[in-house]
Chains A and B, each alone.
Chain A
Amino acid sequence: MSDVLLSTRGLRVEYSGRAGGRVRALRDVDLDIAQGETLGLVGESGCGKSTLGRALLRVVEPSAGRIDFLGADLTRLRGRRLRRTRAELQMVFQDPFGSLNPRRRVADIVAEPLLRARGASRAEADRAVAGLLDLVGLGAEAGGRKPHEFSGGQRQRIGIARALASSPRFVVADEAVSALDVSIQAQVLNLLSDLVRDRGLTMLFISHDLGVVRHIADRVAVMYLGEIIEIASRDDFFAGPAHPYSSALLASVPALRPGPPNERQPPQGELPDPANPPEGCLFRTRCAFATDLCRTRHPELRETAPGRSVRCHLPLDTVSEDPH
Chain B
Amino acid sequence: MTAAEAVLEVRDLTVQFDVPAGRLPAVDGVDLTLRTGEILALVGESGSGKSALSMSLVGLNRGPRTHVGGSVSFRGRELVGAPERELREVRGKDVAVVFQDALAALNPLHRAGAQVAETIRAHADVPRATAASRAVELLGEVGIAGPARAARAYPHQLSGGMRQRVMIAMGLANDPAVLIADEPTTALDVTIQAQVLTLLKQVQREHGTSVLLITHDLGVVAEVADRVAVMYAGRIVEQGTRDEVLFDPQHPYTMGLLGSVPPLDGPVPERLPAIPGSPPSGVERPSGCGFQPRCSFAHDGCGERPALRRRYGGTAHLDACVLPEKARTRARAAGAAV
Interface of A toward B, CB cutoff 8 Å: 44-45, 151-154, 181-187, 189-190, 193, 208, 210-212, 214-215, 234, 238, 248-258, 261-262, 264, 266-267, 269-271
Contacts and interface: CB of A to CB of B under 8 A. Distances in A.
B265 A238 contact: yes
Contacts of B261: 182, 186, 211, 256
A151 B268 contact: no
Given A211-B262, A211-B263, A182 B190 contact: no
Interface in B249-271: 256-265, 268-269, 271
A211 B263 CA distance: 6
30 contacts: A44-B190, A153-B278, A182-B218, A182-B261, A183-B278, A185-B260, A186-B260, A186-B273, A190-B271, A190-B272, A193-B271, A208-B190, A211-B261, A211-B264, A234-B268, A249-B190, A252-B190, A254-B193, A254-B219, A254-B222, A255-B265, A256-B261, A256-B263, A258-B243, A258-B246, A266-B192, A270-B159, A270-B161, A271-B159, A271-B189
Residues of A contacting B: mostly:
helix
A167 to B, nearest CB: 24
B46 interface: yes
B161 to A, nearest CB: 6
Contacts of A271: 159, 189
Q: In the complex, which of the residues B224, B259, B260, B279 has the most CB atoms of chain A within 10 Å of its own CB atom?
A: B260
A266 B194 contact: yes
Contacts of B197: 254
A248 B189 contact: no
B223 interface: yes
Given A181-B45, A189-B272, A211-B262, A255 B222 contact: yes
A215 B272 CA distance: 9
Query: Looking at chain B, what size class is its interface with the partner chain?
Result: 35 or more
Contacts of A184: 45, 274, 278
Nearest to A262: B223
A246 to B, nearest CB: 11
Contacts of B193: 252, 254
A269 B262 CA distance: 28
Nearest to B256: A183
Contacts of A261: 222-224
Contacts of A234: 268
Interface of B: 45-46, 145, 159-162, 189-195, 197-198, 216-220, 222-224, 243, 246-247, 256-265, 268-269, 271-276, 278-279, 281, 338
Given A182-B218, A214-B268, A258-B247, A44 B273 contact: no
B257 A255 contact: no
Contacts of B276: 187
Given A181-B279, A256-B261, A270-B159, 5 more contacts: A45-B160, A182-B257, A183-B45, A214-B268, A257-B265
8 tightest A-B CB contacts, nearest first: A186-B274, A254-B219, A266-B194, A215-B262, A186-B260, A181-B45, A254-B223, A44-B189
Given A151-B278, A181-B46, A215-B268, A254 B189 contact: no
A182 to B, nearest CB: 5
B256 A210 contact: no
B219 A255 contact: yes
A193 B262 CA distance: 13
Nearest to B223: A254
Contacts of A262: 223
A186 B275 contact: yes
Contacts of A190: 271-272, 274
Nearest to B46: A181
Contacts of A210: 190, 264
Given A184-B278, A215-B272, A257 B222 contact: yes
A212 B260 CA distance: 10
Given A190-B271, A254-B222, A238 B264 contact: yes
A271 B161 CA distance: 11
B279 to A, nearest CB: 8
A317 to B, nearest CB: 19
A248 B191 CA distance: 8
Given A254-B223, A256-B219, A183 B274 contact: yes
Nearest to B198: A266
B269 to A, nearest CB: 8
B217 to A, nearest CB: 7
Given A183-B45, A187-B274, A215-B272, A253 B190 contact: yes
Contacts of A215: 262, 268-269, 272
Nearest to B272: A186
B150 to A, nearest CB: 12
Nearest to A217: B268
A215 to B, nearest CB: 4
